Amino acid sequence: MKEELNYRTICFNAMEVMKRAAAHIREQHENRGNLKIEVKGEHNFVTEVDKEAERMLVTGLSNSFPQAGFIAEEGTSTKRGETYNWIIDPIDGTTNFIHGVFPFAISVGLAEGDEIVAGIVYEFGLNEYFYAWKGGGAWRNGERINVSSASTVSESLIATGFPYTDFRFLEQFLESIHYFMANSHGLRRLGSAATDIAYVACGRYDAFYEYGLNPWDIAAGILLVKEAGGSVSDFNGEENPLFSEDIICSNGHIQKEFQETTKKIMLKK
């Protein structure tokens, strides 16, 4: 029989680990003169700060929950857990970080199989911890959060992310920008998918969509939105988009309209 886990305890233990990594990242951000930047691919960057922060997260999370493995952006651990895996982005929004622009965030989610059961996003600019555990609701700095009440796309503020390495759907994406700019309260792009999704969870945005994403960009956010009362899918409407490379999330009230509209535009041949 599988042991019953205390997801709340796991979530708060992970947050303590994240606080140590966040302190390191903030120190480096405030003393950026020696920032060393590597190019992973066209428009795709990594710094030694990303790598060191990930190492700190891997070490701390290994100590707090030894049976879990890792899916980590910078590959500092190749350990895979049979049931549990931490999905880590040490700095979501590295380009923003490099340029000294907020937001950028740490994103950590715990997957039990393909289901996220604990998730934390820490956004540096506003010093906000967004966190959730399975069945426990969603929270920001100790206060319960919920999605917005907008009932149509036309009365929604929508967030997205610009493609930076994958331009296969650029024509469709530009069409989607045109549509949502003309048929909603507006479109926003911050440069950190983890932050965007956390903002859907707390009601600042009504919806978010993006393609070309990785599991570490969205893992924590998926649970945040669900526990805050919202809905999550991929462009096709599949409700577990963790490995889909595209995501739609909303307050739930507009999910059907938003998903169908986005699918019609973005998956156009």
DSSP per-residue codes, 224-250 = HHHHTT-EEE-TT--S--TTTSEEEEE
Burial 73-105, CB ≥16 within 10 A → b, else e: bbebbeeebeebbbbbbbbbbbbbbbeeebbbb
pLDDT band at 2 (very low <50, low <70, confident <90, very high): very low
- Which CATH code fits 153-266? 3.40.190.80
Q: What is the mean pLDDT of the chain?
A: 92
Tell me the C-alpha to C-alpha distance, in Å, between residue 25 and each of 94, 139, 144: 11, 23, 27
**41 pLDDT above the threshold of 70:** no
pLDDT digits (tens, 9 = 90+) for 181-225: 999 999 999 999 999 999 999 999 999 999 999 999 999 999 999
pLDDT band at 33 (very low <50, low <70, confident <90, very high): low
Q: What stretch of H or E contains 90?
A: strand 84-92
Tell me the C-alpha to C-alpha distance, in Å, between residue 49 and each of 26, 65, 150, 194, 223: 10, 24, 39, 18, 26
Task: Confirm if 113 and 5 have CB atoms less than 8 A apart.
Answer: no
Region for residue 268 given its phi and psi (left: phi exceeds 0; alpha: psi -120 to 50; beta: otherwise): beta
Query: What was the pLDDT predicted at 37?
Result: 66
Task: Confirm if 249 and 232 have CB atoms less than 8 A apart.
Answer: yes
Query: What is the residue extent of each domain of the chain?
Result: 7-145, 153-266
Task: Confirm if 92 and 197 have CB atoms less than 8 A apart.
Answer: no
**153 pLDDT above the threshold of 80:** yes
Task: Confirm if 83 and 112 have CB atoms less than 8 A apart.
Answer: yes
pLDDT digits (tens, 9 = 90+) for 71-105: 998 888 888 999 999 999 999 998 899 889 999 99
pLDDT band at 43 (very low <50, low <70, confident <90, very high): very low
Q: Which CATH architecture has domain 7-145?
A: 2-Layer Sandwich (3.30)
**45 pLDDT above the threshold of 80:** no
Report residue 123 as tokens. 């956004």
Pick from 233, 239, 250: which is nearest to 180 by CA?
A: 250
